[in-house]
A and B are shown apart, each in its own frame.
Chain A
């Protein structure tokens, strides 16, 4: 017992102050929201469109889809004009799918707004989510799990991952929804009492990720179920996920 107490003292208090205090430091190489500088971009050049593994960039219409984006470095490395760059902005979550599309007119994305009044009253202080992995590679799952550890301590906001869908207020889904998970996902969703919400975490769940348009998978969850919050990334950083959840619950206002 003595050793446990001594170790506890040595390990110290670790829960971060975010969102009241500053977020934890991110790597200098962290790849947050992409910036598409259309002024530098040569309209005849299509290198990024061709190189993007998932077709997230349309050069002609100058649209960049952060929902499809894998946040890899392929376009960034290939662009001769250096028109594409990564910001360190970890805030990426949105309520509407089209808000993830960055165009010439609209460089900033519209970050997620809080739930409607009635829903917020129900879930604002106590949100229980069932996590369903439907073809996820275990990276999104791992970084959702991290939010339960002492550093992030998601429980302090009343958000908890629940074992049974019947005890849950919604599903947090990862993975592109494989054909072999369709039935299980539907059963889990049907088992959740109304009203309920759906949170899509990661580019797979939003648009299919690297598996987009492949036979064995669907292109994310949207084709079968209505999504309330999109959290892009491959995988999204835990800070991005927590930021999204807190915006949904109205704990972080748009600054």
Chain B
């Protein structure tokens, strides 16, 4: 029998409810409920603050995902004053969420074990959890870092500008020779203020923020945003549009997974697969461009459906091209598993145990590579995934090999899914125009982006405008996993471990 919590409202993915239907409990009961639910197997998909009518108090909302019963549980509490007892010591997966709440609203989680800013920006309320001067600029990555001292210990600091073409972030390694004892990651360099800018929307820029929130996940984030829009306006999007969205989402996964496998082989010095995959990634981006004119899918996903339809001739062309890609990537990627030196470098590098992954609430291929059945397409399906399931790809080793192999399994499943969808594409329209958004409501959208679970939650005000728009990119859950994966590894394995996670900086920094 599943535990039913009277403190929580029950929803499913893509639902909308009135805010006053969410039970409000005090902070003690709120904390106890989160700890108990997480102990019993739920996980924290989102945890965020929101303004209340009273300037001295802040509302906290939690979204708990119950993967076994496909339910999303929503809890709410109101904090008056500037502090609340930290939940992190009892439930580590909220550690970054609490730091974020402190940074955005200036309220302090008392007892947080490593209380630092997340994005190094000023709060939205004028209060500051670190008592910093209002007029002084806040510099990123400045402040305490965890440090190990000793005669033979040395510290390596890297970034924000790295050697390759990647986004900025700062890493501090505590090392003994080659061995890494501890890695701490400081982000925030990409902070653009997306969540704040979404308030008072939807407006002409809202969709464009979503498309550029993490550019390599344009489809994943814009589908999530549109789902929120459609839930608030009770829009039934056409089935054909749902199928086309599914195709676009899987094309995005294919491009990125193929690119990642190429990058991984490049990092172990195995150049054939690296070169082949570099080109093949582009073939999938070109297929997305075939659908909508943009390689990343800009302009394809719109509230109420999709912006472009395809005809029978297009279906034939896409099937033809994807058939060729399928053959070529199979050849290219199988070289990896047949090559002893590649396997020796992938195996046992950067391991993440199943227990750690569960405790920290990791998501996506990273969680699945540690043996966890966690895939929104399967556990909280919406859109086309309600009609057509994709098997969940799981591996047990939890190391770089596991994360690479999960990607390879997913590549094969996504290709079959796309072929299947194209052959059975429903007829009809691809776009309906949504009505106005419901006032004073809350809506949740979950999607399995290629990095893992994307969670969008929105609250509307009395006019039906966004009063709060909360985005959780899968990277937000997984960065701590990368830090853990480096423990007791060689520092020279960092690039390889980093690629096997391939997390988003801008998706985290928002």
Contact = CB atoms under 8 A, between A and B. Distances in A.
B506 A27 contact: no
B137 to A, nearest CB: 8
Interface string B301-317: 00000011000000000
A234 B298 CA distance: 8
Contacts of B308: 29
B296 interface: yes
B404 to A, nearest CB: 18
Given A11-B276, A72-B299, A214-B193, A139 B212 contact: yes
A7 B331 contact: yes
Contact of A214 (B197, B211, B307): B197
B66 interface: no
B272 interface: yes
Interface string A108-129: 0000000000000000000000
Contacts of B278: 146, 148-151
A164 B164 CA distance: 9
A150 B279 contact: yes
B361 interface: no
Contacts of B204: 51-53, 74
A25 to B, nearest CB: 9
Contacts of B139: 180, 183
Closest 5 CB pairs of A and B: A139-B215, A137-B215, A29-B293, A149-B278, A163-B163
B436 interface: no
A133 B215 contact: no
A104 B29 CA distance: 66
B383 interface: no
B279 A31 contact: no
A79 B46 CA distance: 40
Q: Tell me the interface secondary structure of chain B in the complex.
A: loop
B161 A216 contact: no
Contacts of A20: none
Interface of A: 3-4, 7-8, 10-11, 14, 26-31, 51-54, 70-74, 86, 130-146, 148-151, 161, 163-165, 175-176, 178-181, 183-184, 187-188, 204, 209-211, 214-217, 234-235, 237
Contacts of B496: none
Contacts of B144: none
B464 to A, nearest CB: 20
- In this complex, the interface size class of chain B, counting residues with CB under 8 Å from chain A, is 35 or more
Given A7-B276, A215-B193, A135 B205 contact: no
Contacts of B454: none
Nearest to B504: A138
Contacts of B335: 3-4, 7
A139 B216 contact: yes
A193 B32 CA distance: 59
B282 A216 contact: no
B193 A145 contact: no
A138 B216 contact: yes
B203 to A, nearest CB: 8
19 contacts: A3-B338, A7-B272, A26-B289, A30-B289, A134-B168, A136-B506, A138-B506, A142-B296, A149-B281, A150-B275, A151-B278, A163-B164, A184-B160, A209-B212, A210-B208, A214-B197, A217-B193, A234-B212, A235-B295
A133 B212 CA distance: 14
A216 B192 contact: yes
Contacts of B218: 139
A136 B167 contact: yes
A149 B279 contact: yes
Contacts of A184: 160-161, 168, 189
A219 to B, nearest CB: 12
B452 to A, nearest CB: 16
A176 B189 CA distance: 12
Contacts of A3: 335, 338
B168 A133 contact: yes
Interface of B: 119-121, 137, 139-140, 160-161, 163-168, 188-193, 197, 204-205, 208-209, 211-216, 218, 259, 272, 275-276, 278-279, 281-282, 286, 289-296, 298-299, 307-308, 328, 331-332, 335, 338-339, 504-506
Contacts of B140: 180
Given A149-B279, A184-B189, A11 B328 contact: yes
Contacts of A234: 212, 298
Contact of A138 (B137, B161, B214, B279): B214
A210 B289 contact: no
A131 B140 CA distance: 20
Contacts of A235: 215, 295-296
Nearest to A130: B161
Contacts of A141: 165-167, 215
Given A30-B293, A149-B282, A235-B295, 13 more contacts: A4-B272, A11-B328, A11-B332, A131-B165, A132-B168, A133-B190, A137-B215, A137-B216, A146-B282, A180-B120, A181-B168, A187-B161, A217-B192
A210 B205 CA distance: 7
B161 A136 contact: no
A73 B338 contact: no
A137 B282 contact: no
Nearest to A162: B163
B290 A178 contact: no
A181 B286 contact: no
Nearest to B119: A180
B214 A216 contact: no
A178 B212 contact: no
A154 to B, nearest CB: 12
Contacts of A138: 167, 214-216, 504-506
A135 B293 contact: no
A27 B293 contact: yes
A214 B10 CA distance: 37
A142 B139 CA distance: 27
A10 B331 contact: yes
Nearest to A76: B299
A254 B264 CA distance: 40
A238 B4 CA distance: 53
A175 to B, nearest CB: 8
A133 B272 contact: no
A146 B277 CA distance: 11
Contacts of B212: 137, 139, 204, 209-211, 234
Contacts of B197: 211, 214
A109 B163 CA distance: 35
Nearest to B328: A11
Given A11-B332, A53-B204, A214-B193, A133 B167 contact: yes
Contact of A135 (B192, B209, B296, B298): B192
Nearest to A50: B204
